[in-house]
Amino acid sequence: MNNYMDVLITTSSTLDGAKIKQYFGIVSAHVVAGTNVFSDIAAGLSDFFGGRSATYADQISRIKAQALTDLKYEAIELGANAVISVTIDVDEVSGGGKSMFMITAYGTAVTLDKVHIENSEDTKTGLVTGNVLADAIEKRILVEQHKSAPLEMTNDEWCRLLELKVPEMGDFIEWEMVNSGLKEERLFAYVASIDFDDSIALGYKLFEKTSKEGELRTIQKVINKMILVDYHRSISLLKSKSNSLAHKKAMLNTIIKPKRLYSRDDINLLNELIDTVEASFPTIAIFKKKKGLLGKEKELWECMCSQKENDADDSFCKSCGRDKRGFKTEDTTPEKAIRYLSMIKETLNEALPAQ
C-alpha cells in the first residue's frame, strides 16, 4: 500500500512524463472547521479596515491541507497513487455570532506509471510538528471531558470538535440524540469531519439506537447523502429481531441508494441482501372470519392501525391506506427494493466480469 506522502495531488488532468495506467473514479473528502467569536471579530475588523484577515486565511489554509490529506487516504484505499483534476470548494456558514468553514475536495483517483513527488524536510518519517502534537492532546482532553458524563457542548467546543476530527465523540452524538433529540445539522457536520469507516459505523449505530421515526429519516438522509451505505450492516439490521417495522422500512430507503464503491464481492452480498429483504417483511394483518346477515361467514383482515376491518380482497386498509404488511402505495416496498438491488447485481456482473 502507498504511503500518503507518495500520493500526487494535482488540479491538472494530465501530467508531463507520466502515463495514466488505471482510472478508479471520483474520490472526495469533506472537512468542517469552526472559528470562535474572537477570530470572527478580528476578521471582521480586518475586513472593515480593508486589511487581509490572517486568522481566516490561516484557518482556510489549514483545513484545505487536511482535505487534501484525506483525499490522499481515499486514493490509497482504492490502490491509486495520484488524484488528478482536483477541485476544492470552500463554503462559510454563519449564524448566531458563529461561523463554520466547510471545505470539499474532490478529484479522480488514478494509477500513474511514473510519479515524482518532492518531499519537504518537515515531512520526513519520524518527525511530528508541534501543531499535530497539540491537536492530539486537545483531542484527548475533549474525549476525557465528555465520555464519562456527557454535557451540553458550547458552540466553541462543538466547532473545535469538528476541526479536530474526533471519532470517539460519536458516543456524545448518541447521548445527545437520546437526551435532547438528534440535531440534523450537527450530525451532517460531524459525519463529514471524521473518517469514512467511522462515519459508516456511527450512522448505522444511531440508526439502530433511535426509536423515533423523525430521527430515523434524518439518519437515513445522512447515510444516503454522505454515501455511507454498507451491505453487511444493512443485512444485520434487517435480520435483527429487536428492530421495528419502521426501522426496517427506513432501511429499504437506504439500500436503494448507491454505495461509494463496488467490487465483485458485492454480488454475493447483494444475493444475501435480496434474500434478507424477502424474509424481513411478513404479513402483519390479522385475518378473521365473521358471520354476515344471512349467517354466511365472511373473511376479513384487520390492519395494524386497528381502525377498520377490511374485506379479504381489499389490497389496502380503508382507514390508513396500508397493505397487509404495513406499506402505503408511495412507500419503498420490498418488491421495489429487490428490483433495484437486482439491477445493481446484473450491472455489476456486466461491468466486473469474473476473472
Query: Domain-by-domain residue ranges, the chain?
Result: 4-122, 130-228
Report pTM.
Answer: 0.64
- The 3 state secondary structure assigned to 76-106 is HHHCCCEEEEEEEEEEEEEECCEEEEEEEEE
- The type of residue at 213 is E
Residues 6+ apart with CB under 8 A from 115: 6, 8, 18, 81, 82
Question: C-alpha grid cell for residue 127?
Answer: 518527525
Average pLDDT along the chain: 79
Specify the pLDDT at position 198: 85
Which option is the CATH number for 4-122: 3.90.1150.10, 3.90.76.10, 3.40.50.10170, 3.30.110.70?
Answer: 3.30.110.70
Specify the pLDDT at position 255: 94
Specify the pLDDT at position 211: 80
Residues 6+ apart with CB under 8 A from 43: 35, 53, 55, 56
Specify the pLDDT at position 39: 46
* Per-residue pLDDT tens digits for 64-122: 777 887 888 888 888 888 899 999 888 776 655 566 677 889 999 998 875 443 433 34
Q: Which residues of the chain, if any, have pLDDT below 50?
A: 1, 36-53, 115-125
Residues 6+ apart with CB under 8 A from 190: 32, 161, 162, 169, 170, 173, 202
